[in-house]
Amino acid sequence: MDLTVVVASLEGRHSIRACLDRLAVACKGLDHEILVCDASTDGTRDVLENRPGGAHILAFPAGTLVPELWSAGIAQARGRVVALTTAHCLVTPGWASALVRAIDAGAAAAGGPFRVAAGTRPTDWAVFYLRYSAFLPGVMGAGRIGGELAGDNAAYRRSDLLRHADVYARGFWELDMHRVIRAEGRWLDAVPEAVCEFGRSFPFLVIARHRFAHGRHSGGSRASQGIRPAWQIVTGAPLVPFVLARRAAGRVRRDGGSWRFWAAMPWFLALASCWAAGEAVGAWRHAH
């Protein structure tokens, strides 16, 4: 089998049908499977159960995080290439073949850029620019990169994932896998043709809770690996939202600018504050 696509599905009722329809088009011509790992509480599963054919649905308890859903999906995957995404991402027609070609050409991991989908709202734009500003088409670049890939639009060789199953035993956090890849002397590829559009996202309180949880993992990980002392993470937390906003603004300018970024700024700062608080808690718990 050429490809397994693992779709982490959380509160994706508004977008899951479009997500799967887009994947069906993108994966046409490849021997593939689509695994939807769903932990939604908003009726997403009803949409999935009523959708004929295509995807295999795996149900998980409410509160399961996206990296944990990806990890569970990877464990069930059969394709020689495993691509990851979420129910809020809408891939473009050349997405699957572009990622598979990059892996077959020697990349250990490959991923593409993001753009905002039509019909989205300011809270969606806030999530988009907070999470994906480094992966805008005019920012990400092409070919071998020294930066990162977003797990929501990335593919890996399954044999590599299986060799390093311990890395994602508690959830697939892409930065951890990327560190292993680079330590082995291999590289990440940016693939401009593998575009994802970010669609309707979670309700705001759900987003805030997830940003806090992901920040907590980041803070604990950075402190435990010695990337930054815990006290610096804790004391610097109040400045983090403004640092992230400034960084994202620079990337948006490089990509040609967008009024959506400025319209979403109140929600951006609120979500960035949740991330910063989570980082501080994660670092503090590691230190104590």
Q: Could you give all domains of the chain from N- to C-terminal order, each with its CATH number?
A: 3-112+149-198 (3.90.550.10), 204-287 (no CATH)
180 or 210, greater pLDDT: 180
Q: Is the pTM of this model over 0.85?
A: yes
pLDDT by residue (tens digit) across 167-207?
Answer: 999 899 999 999 999 999 999 999 999 999 999 887 888 88
pLDDT for res 201 = 85
100 or 53: which carries more pLDDT confidence?
Answer: 100
Q: Cα–Cα distance between 37 and 39 in angstroms, integer? A: 7
- pLDDT confidence of residue 73: 97
The confidence score (pLDDT) of residue 42 equals 84
Q: Helices (H), strands (E): how many in the chain?
A: 13, 11
Residue 238, pLDDT score: 95
**What does the block give as tokens for 151?**
């797990």
Q: What angle do CA 185, 160, 89 make, to 5 degrees?
A: 105
* Token pair listed for 68: 């944990």
CA distances from 154 to 69, 78, 114, 178 (A): 15, 17, 11, 11
Question: What pLDDT is recorded for position 188?
Answer: 98
Of the candidates 6, 68, 13, 3, which has an alpha carbon nearest to the alpha carbon of residue 199?
Answer: 13
Q: In the 3-class helix/strand/coil scheme, how is 70-95 assigned residue by residue? A: HHHHHHHCCCCEEEEEECCEEECCCH
Within 8 A by CB and 6+ apart from 203, the residues are: 11, 42
110: left (phi over 0), alpha (psi -120 to 50) or beta: beta
Instruction: Give the number of residues written for the chain.
Output: 288
**Quick one: pLDDT at residue 202?**
78
Residue 52's pLDDT is what?
54
* Residue-level pLDDT at 51: 66
- Residues 63-98: tens digit of each pLDDT: 899 999 999 999 999 999 999 999 999 999 999 999
How confident is the model at residue 176, as a pLDDT?
Answer: 93
Is the predicted pLDDT of residue 229 greater than 90, yes or no? Answer: no
Q: Calculate the dihedral angle through the C-alpha atoms of 168, 174, 177, 181, rounding to the nearest 10 degrees.
A: 160
Q: Which of 193, 26, 18 is nearest to 90 (CA)?
A: 18
